[in-house]
Amino acid sequence: MPGPLEGVLVVDLTRVLAGPFATMMMADLGARVIKVERPGTGDDSRGYGPYVEGRSMYFARVNRGKESVALDLKDPANRSVLDELVDRADVLVENFRPGVMDRLGLGPETLRARNPGLVYCSISGFGQTGPLRGRQAYDTVVQAASGLMSVTGFPGGPPVKPGAPFGDLSAALYAFGAICAALVDRHRTGRGARIDIAMFDCLVSLVEGAGLYWLADGTDPGPIGNAHYSITPFDAFSAADRQIIICAANDELFGRLLAAMGREDLAEMPQYASNLSRTQHRDLLKDELEGTLRKRQADDWLALLTRAGVPCGPISTIAEALGSEQTEQRHMVVTVDGWRQPGNPMKSDRTQEPVGSGPAPDLDEQGAALRREFGRPAQ
């Protein structure tokens, strides 16, 4: 069964994570993705661990299903191959610093003049405009600038980087969505698009509750641990042996929680009468609930609360999550070229799983074939 992006040709001029993750999703859905790399060294992430049999798992995951060609863009023969690729492409994705593609003669206006249907997507730290456009940016730099680190951690503690590279990954997801939308629009209008994705913008859009408080009344919130800015109780709570997550997001669920815990007395207290008042007295309510939760084991509480219909769960390790039956049944760990990798979360009855998930290429593995396919005859 062909993937929904079957027949779409993508020129991938990206490296490391944000761009390669976006184009990986396109490859997973059937697009032909041709990764253009530097001769000799290729993508920086070829040198990032962990390693299996001497090969980078980091690189292998986000470049699966792609083809690789190594091109020296200052060499006329190599450049002609890229020019032909671009002229026949549906999508180009790049993550150079703003201005670099223009200096290479590969700016969006130049390429779209030759290929009006081209969807040209740039991913950068701070975007193509604004005072920070030229700043070098890795994920942590942007996480810090976006305010995300300032609200991660516990009160009184230092700013904390979340455990996953959300700047890169959010940019990849927004880029993927914008590219697919542009392809739909091109089908209707025949015109391509210029897409500008900034990691900073993506994280600013995702700071969610903390950002909304500042926009609403100027409150500059700090970190609140595992709690929620607007909903209570919605946190990690200590049982006798370990912490569990409980999310009672409305009055009905709060009532179920108190009944299951045998703490109906709390429902009579005015400070817990509404979500707003519970949030205003978050710490006091947590102390009350944990006083009861610490009397039994976590598994006992999880079973009891689940039967009562209260959203709750364990705090899993990576090994527990990736090794779980849920992960197995959802095909969220797949084997590609003998290596286990995270799977594709985009499930569809129109897509055979996995689609386009062949192995990641060696550097310039398809170079000779691609030069023949896209080489231009001598003038």
**Residues 315-373: pLDDT tens digits?**
999 999 999 999 999 999 988 888 888 998 998 887 766 544 689 999 999 999 999 99
pLDDT at residue number 136: 87
- Residue 222 in any domain: the answer is no
- Residue 212 in any domain: the answer is no
Are 174 and 299 within one domain?
Answer: no
Annotation says 228 is catalytic? yes
pLDDT digits (tens, 9 = 90+) for 208-258: 889 998 999 999 999 999 999 999 999 999 999 999 999 999 999 999 999
Are 129 and 275 within one domain?
Answer: no
For each successive 10 residues of the chain (379 residues), what is the average pLDDT?
91 97 95 97 95 92 96 92 97 96 95 96 97 92 96 96 96 98 96 98 94 92 94 98 97 98 96 97 97 98 98 97 95 87 88 68 95 77
pLDDT at residue number 378: 52
- Residue 147 in any domain: the answer is yes
pLDDT at residue number 307: 98
pLDDT at residue number 353: 65
Are 168 and 305 within one domain?
Answer: no
Are 18 and 148 within one domain?
Answer: yes
Are 71 and 164 within one domain?
Answer: yes
Are 188 and 277 within one domain?
Answer: no
- Residue 171 in any domain: the answer is yes
Are 42 and 123 within one domain?
Answer: yes
Position 310, amino acid: V
Residue of 187, 228, 281, 331 with catalytic role: 228
- Residue 103 in any domain: the answer is yes
Are 181 and 269 within one domain?
Answer: no
Domain that holds residue 50: 9-206+330-374
- Residue 78 in any domain: the answer is yes
- Residue 80 in any domain: the answer is yes
pLDDT at residue number 357: 64
Q: How many domains does the chain have?
A: 2
Are 193 and 54 within one domain?
Answer: yes
Are 128 and 27 within one domain?
Answer: yes
Are 171 and 66 within one domain?
Answer: yes
Contacts 24+ apart (CB under 8 A), 80-84: 80/375, 80/376, 81/370, 81/371, 81/374, 81/375, 81/376, 82/11, 82/36, 82/106, 83/376, 84/374, 84/375, 84/376
Are 16 and 158 within one domain?
Answer: yes
Indicate which CATH number applies to the domain containing 126.
3.40.50.10540
- Residue 342 in any domain: the answer is yes
Indicate which CATH number applies to the domain containing 253.
3.30.1540.10
